[in-house]
Homo-oligomer: A and B are copies of this chain.
Amino acid sequence: MRWSQMFLPTLKEIPNEAEAVSHILMIRSGLVRKLTAGVYSYLPLGLKVLQKVENIIREEMNRKGAQEVLLPAIQPVELWGKSGRLKTLGEDMVKFTDRHKKINVLGPTHEEVVTLLVKNEVSSYRQLPLILYQIQTKFRDEARPRFGVIRSREFIMKDAYSFDATSEGLNFSYQKMYDAYCQIFSRCGLKFIPVEADTGVMGGDVSHEFMVLAENGEDKIVVCSQCGYAVSFARAECVEPKGNNKPADLKKLSEVKTPKVTSVEAVADFFKIKPDKLIKTMIYESDAKPIAVLVRGDHEINESKLKKVLKDSSLKLGDEKLIEKITKGPLGFSGPVGLSGIEIIADYALKNERDNVVGANKADAHLINANSGRDFKVDLWADLRNITDRDFCPKCARQIKIQPAIEIGHVFKLGTKYTTSFNAAYLDAEGRSSEILMGCYGIGVNRIIAASIEQNHDENGIIWPKHISPFDVLILPLNPDHTASQDTAVKIYEQLKERNIEALLDDRNVRAGIKFKDADLIGIPIQIIIGEKKLGQGKIEIKVRSTNERMEIAASESVNKITELVGEV
User: Interface on A for B, CB 8 Å cutoff?
Assistant: 5-7, 9, 33, 35-37, 39-44, 46-47, 50, 65, 67-76, 91, 94-96, 98-100, 104, 106, 113, 116-117, 120-121, 130, 132, 137, 139, 141, 143, 153-154
Specify which chain B residues have a CB less than 8 angstroms from the CB of A113 in the assembled complex: 35, 41
A sample of 11 inter-chain contacts (CB < 8 A) reads: A35-B74, A35-B76, A36-B104, A41-B72, A41-B113, A41-B117, A44-B67, A74-B139, A91-B99, A96-B106, A99-B143
Specify which chain B residues have a CB less than 8 angstroms from the CB of A72 in the assembled complex: 35-36, 39-41, 154
Q: Are A7 and B39 in contact (CB under 8 A)?
A: no
Report the minimum CB–CB distance from A67 to chain B (whole Å): 4
Q: Are A47 and B75 in contact (CB under 8 A)?
A: no
12 more contacts with CB within 8 A, not counting A33-B120, A73-B154, A94-B98, are A6-B67, A36-B76, A39-B75, A42-B70, A42-B71, A44-B69, A44-B132, A72-B154, A73-B73, A94-B96, A99-B141, A106-B106
Q: Sort A-B residue pairs by CB-CB distance and give the 3 closest, nearest first.
A: A96-B96, A42-B70, A44-B67
The residue in chain B whose Cβ has the minimal distance to the Cβ of A42 is: B70
* Interchain CA distance A460-B137 in the complex, whole Å: 36
Specify which chain B residues have a CB less than 8 angstroms from the CB of A41 in the assembled complex: 69-72, 113, 117
The residue in chain B whose Cβ has the minimal distance to the Cβ of A6 is: B67
Report the minimum CB–CB distance from A18 to chain B (whole Å): 16
Specify which chain B residues have a CB less than 8 angstroms from the CB of A91 in the assembled complex: 99
* Interchain CA distance A69-B74 in the complex, whole Å: 23
Q: Are A9 and B121 in contact (CB under 8 A)?
A: yes
Specify which chain B residues have a CB less than 8 angstroms from the CB of A44 in the assembled complex: 67-69, 132
Specify which chain B residues have a CB less than 8 angstroms from the CB of A37 in the assembled complex: 100
Specify which chain B residues have a CB less than 8 angstroms from the CB of A94 in the assembled complex: 96, 98
* Interchain CA distance A269-B153 in the complex, whole Å: 62
* Interchain CA distance A396-B376 in the complex, whole Å: 103
* Interchain CA distance A72-B65 in the complex, whole Å: 31
* Interchain CA distance A96-B116 in the complex, whole Å: 26
Q: Are B141 and A7 in contact (CB under 8 A)?
A: no
Partner of A47, one of B70, B120, B143: B70
Q: Are A73 and B137 in contact (CB under 8 A)?
A: yes
* Interchain CA distance A71-B96 in the complex, whole Å: 21
The residue in chain B whose Cβ has the minimal distance to the Cβ of A118 is: B7
The residue in chain B whose Cβ has the minimal distance to the Cβ of A121 is: B9
Q: Are A69 and B98 in contact (CB under 8 A)?
A: no
Specify which chain B residues have a CB less than 8 angstroms from the CB of A141 in the assembled complex: 98-99
Q: Are B67 and A132 in contact (CB under 8 A)?
A: no
Q: Are A7 and B67 in contact (CB under 8 A)?
A: yes
* Interchain CA distance A6-B6 in the complex, whole Å: 41
The residue in chain B whose Cβ has the minimal distance to the Cβ of A68 is: B47
The residue in chain B whose Cβ has the minimal distance to the Cβ of A72 is: B39
Q: Are A7 and B69 in contact (CB under 8 A)?
A: yes
* Interchain CA distance A294-B117 in the complex, whole Å: 55
* Interchain CA distance A34-B42 in the complex, whole Å: 30
Specify which chain B residues have a CB less than 8 angstroms from the CB of A40 in the assembled complex: 72
The residue in chain B whose Cβ has the minimal distance to the Cβ of A156 is: B70
Q: Are A74 and B36 in contact (CB under 8 A)?
A: yes
Instruction: State whether A47 and B74 are in contact (beta carbons under 8 Å apart), knowing that A7-B121, A41-B113, A113-B35 are contacts in the complex.
Output: no
Q: Are A7 and B130 in contact (CB under 8 A)?
A: yes
Specify which chain B residues have a CB less than 8 angstroms from the CB of A67 in the assembled complex: 6-7, 44
Report the minimum CB–CB distance from A51 to chain B (whole Å): 8
* Interchain CA distance A113-B35 in the complex, whole Å: 8
Report the minimum CB–CB distance from A269 to chain B (whole Å): 37
* Interchain CA distance A117-B9 in the complex, whole Å: 11
The residue in chain B whose Cβ has the minimal distance to the Cβ of A65 is: B5
Q: Are B73 and A50 in contact (CB under 8 A)?
A: no
* Interchain CA distance A143-B39 in the complex, whole Å: 28
Report the minimum CB–CB distance from A50 to chain B (whole Å): 7
The residue in chain B whose Cβ has the minimal distance to the Cβ of A76 is: B36
Specify which chain B residues have a CB less than 8 angstroms from the CB of A46 in the assembled complex: 70
Report the minimum CB–CB distance from A429 to chain B (whole Å): 13
The residue in chain B whose Cβ has the minimal distance to the Cβ of A127 is: B7
Report the minimum CB–CB distance from A60 to chain B (whole Å): 17
Specify which chain B residues have a CB less than 8 angstroms from the CB of A5 in the assembled complex: 65
Specify which chain B residues have a CB less than 8 angstroms from the CB of A65 in the assembled complex: 5
* Interchain CA distance A368-B288 in the complex, whole Å: 84
Specify which chain B residues have a CB less than 8 angstroms from the CB of A117 in the assembled complex: 33, 41
Specify which chain B residues have a CB less than 8 angstroms from the CB of A42 in the assembled complex: 69-71
* Interchain CA distance A71-B50 in the complex, whole Å: 13
* Interchain CA distance A67-B6 in the complex, whole Å: 8
